[in-house]
Amino acid sequence: MRSIARIIQPAYAPFLHPKHISRVQLSNATSAPAWRRSFHASASLRVVDLAYSLHDNKGSAKGDPIVIIHGLFGSKKNNRSVSNALARALDRPVYAIDTRNHGDSPHDNVHNYNAIADDVEAFLKKHELKGATLIGHSMGAKTVMTLALRNPDCCANIIPVDNAPVDAALSSDFPKYAEGMQRVERARPKSQKEADEILQPYAKDLPVRQFLLTNLVRPAPSEPLKFRIPVKILSDALDNMADFPFTDPEETRFGKRALFIRGTRSHYVSDEALPIIGRFFPRFELRDIDAGHWVISEKPEEFIKAVVEFLQEKDE
């Protein structure tokens, strides 16, 4: 798709944002006043110490940090290739993290965006990551939006991938995936092939099943396979993953730059959602990529190109 750039007056009307426009910038909208919020977790939530992988081009990447956050049922391993590519292209270290209840990070019964954001904010503080770019896909996208809105000082800019700051039902596929994974867990399969056969009625596409089954581990030789993620906790949290913690853009805005990347064959960021994005993030830009919801894995080169171009532009 040929890239078309346009400046849009911030009227926020859906018809101003046709799907064929690959990049939209609302640069003349009124920015919210700056405010500060110190790093701290919500008093009622337990902060989880997150597992991560550092991609720094063998120690040579010395620029401002990038933190990349996977989606639901994913892990830091999903972003290994793009993290290495971004570290090389931008000379910036990339921290690929596992959120709570995912990958190698600890499990907790609470799984919502405020809790996940608390963990990431504590991670930024622990590793002294200043001026960071926060990238997140799907669940990770709503996490970086939450972080930016509640504490704009925690990052320099954000790149949410295929999600919007709205309460919206998850694709019906995700409850099916969760149901299938619980079925696999109850069956105690001895092999990946057996697990794949059980999961097939719930996830028709082989790449999706392969993605979900990356969470299978064998605790010890001769023992059946089990999921390393707490499938029941995440299944119960699906409604939380559809929610968004902020509802009033007149009260809370992020005045720094934001790049929203969406898959044109995905429904998660509709044209109708663009006005509310513009109100929460008045300096947002939009990049369309010909992909479904799994933008990063489907079109990694186009994703990397979009990120690099955005981050190499001067912050005016």
Q: Which of 53, 138, 266, 297 is catalytic?
A: 138
pLDDT tens by residue, 116-149: 999 999 999 999 999 999 999 999 999 999 999 9
* Phi then psi dihedrals of residue 134, to 5 deg: -105, 120
CA atoms within 13 A on the CB side of 213: 22
Question: Which domains are assigned to the chain?
Answer: 5-167+244-312 (3.40.50.1820), 173-238 (no CATH)
267 among known catalytic residues: no
List the one residue out of 296, 142, 134 whose CA is nearest residue 211: 296
235 among known catalytic residues: no
pLDDT at 278 over 70: yes
Region of 58 on the Ramachandran plot (φ > 0 left; ψ -120 to 50 alpha; else beta): left
pTM of the model: 0.85
Average pLDDT over every residue of 140-160: 98
Average pLDDT over every residue of 80-84: 97
Would you give the DSSP letter of residue 48? P
Q: What is the pLDDT of residue 62?
A: 92
Q: What is the pLDDT confidence band of residue 262, given thresholds at 50, 70 and 90?
A: very high
Question: How does the average pLDDT of the chain come out, rounded?
Answer: 87
pLDDT tens by residue, 300-313: 999 999 999 999 98
Q: What is the pLDDT of residue 39?
A: 40
pLDDT at 281 over 70: yes
Q: Under a CB-based contact definition with an 8 Å cutoff, are residues 192 and 216 in contact?
A: yes
Q: What is the pLDDT of residue 299?
A: 96
Q: Which of 17, 55, 102, 293 is catalytic?
A: 293
The CB density around residue 191, as the number of other CB atoms within 10 Å, is 12
pLDDT at 41 over 90: no
